[in-house]
Amino acid sequence: MPLAQAFMKHERCGVLVLCYSVTENWRNTLVRSFRESCHDGRIVAIVGGNLKRISGGFDAVISATDKAEALLEAVSGEPRGARKAS
């Protein structure tokens, strides 16, 4: 994970998506590093069906069984139907 932390410090990412398979210790480390480097970025957690609770620090939380639309909404921060056509 040090490579991921180094990348965040130098590349200025906009979105961090964390899967349920990442341990809580690493999740906390990555969330902290992301917030330090990417102040305006969004953090989305994907949780498995058997996970009852998840630590805080996320802008959005979706289920692994959700459809792609849910991930797009979580990443953008707005419901997909709310976007106006140009």
* pLDDT at residue 10 tops 70: no
Give the model confidence (pLDDT) of 45-76 as tens digits: 998 876 656 667 899 999 888 999 999 999 88
* pLDDT at residue 1 tops 50: yes
Tokens found for residue 85: 């056509």
Asked if the structure places residue 84 within a domain, the reply is: no
Instruction: Report, as an integer, the average pLDDT of 9-22.
Output: 80
The range of the structural domain enclosing residue 22 comes to 2-77
Residues with Cβ within 8 Å of residue 43, at least 6 apart in sequence: 15, 16, 17, 18, 31, 34, 35, 57, 58, 59, 60
What pTM value is reported for the model? 0.73
Phi and psi at residue 42, to the nearest 5°: -110, 145
Asked if the structure places residue 61 within a domain, the reply is: yes
C-beta of residue 53 within 8 angstroms of C-beta of residue 80: no
Of the candidates 51, 5, 52, which has an alpha carbon nearest to the alpha carbon of residue 28? 5
Instruction: Report, as an integer, the average pLDDT of 71-84.
Output: 74
Q: Across the chain, what does the average pLDDT equal?
A: 79
Amino acid (one-letter) located at 69: E
**CATH number where 68 lies:** 3.40.50.2300
